[in-house]
Copies of this chain bind each other. A is one copy, B any other.
Amino acid sequence: MLAEQRKSLIMDRLRRDGQVVAKAVAEELGLSEDTIRRDLRELAAEGQLRRVHGGAMPLAPELPDFAARRTVSPSVKRALGRAAAALVRPGQLIFLDGGTSTAEIAKALPRDFGFTIATHSPTIAAELEAHPTAEVILIGGRLYKHSMVAVGAAASSQILLIRPDLFFLGATALHPIHGLSTGDLEEAAIKRLIASRAAETFLLATENKLDHVSPCTIMPVSDISGIFVQSGLASDRLAPYRALGVRIIETQADEQDGS
């Protein structure tokens, strides 16, 4: 185990969990706490993290807006992201929608083979900067600030030039009768367009999206191939969706809930 490798693992944990506990890392890696403490000290000296008693914290106390949205269900979204990323196969073209759930997919993408990611979210694209093997296609257009995705005619015309194998979609609301919906008309149009181009479309849905309705309809539930949800939901909540012929993929969140 290389020292640098440890440090990058520590930084990964920090970004993922928002904190790092020295003892936990030491046990996990089978090394002495001294070694981990030394790493933390050096990373702190490099300005990579903030040293605290027992471990370390990120430098910036997380952007308030981002933090607020994260508190919804960070570990659940991670689980959804991991499960979705596992569908990716070498050489495929994957379209990632904007949003915090799909951002988790970007973090969990495999690193041992090549594929192409298309996205109209600059946030997702920036996230992929560190990825070693992913080719990235950025879809441009007028940027809809609230959700940070490109929309409009320019975005549409670029989307028409590609044909993704998989489309991982986020939505504000999901309802068995009213389908997928979101708050902005143009955003809904773009999502619909991407789905029409993609061979398969999958939705990532946290519990708070289920059985809700937002003003702008994206498409009926039957138009998507599958929905990723957290495990442990009552089966009668999922039954109406199953009845529409949609695959429901339940994902297990890891034990350690990030705060």
Instruction: Give A contacts to B, CB under 8 Å.
Output: 2-5, 7-8, 11, 15-19, 21, 46-48, 50, 52-55, 57-58, 60-63, 67, 111-112, 120-126, 128-130, 132-133, 135-143, 145, 148, 150, 154-155, 158, 161, 259
How many copies of this chain are found per oligomer?
2
Residue in B closest to A124 when the chains form the complex, CB atoms: B122
Q: What are 25 A-B contacts defined by CB distance under 8 Å?
A: A3-B54, A4-B50, A5-B18, A5-B19, A5-B57, A8-B18, A8-B61, A61-B132, A120-B138, A120-B140, A121-B122, A122-B125, A122-B126, A123-B129, A125-B148, A126-B126, A129-B145, A129-B148, A137-B140, A137-B141, A137-B142, A138-B141, A138-B142, A138-B150, A139-B140
Q: Please state if B140 and A141 are interface contacts (CB–CB under 8 Å).
A: yes
Which residues of chain B are near A21, meaning CB under 8 Å? 2
Q: Please state if A2 and B161 are interface contacts (CB–CB under 8 Å).
A: no
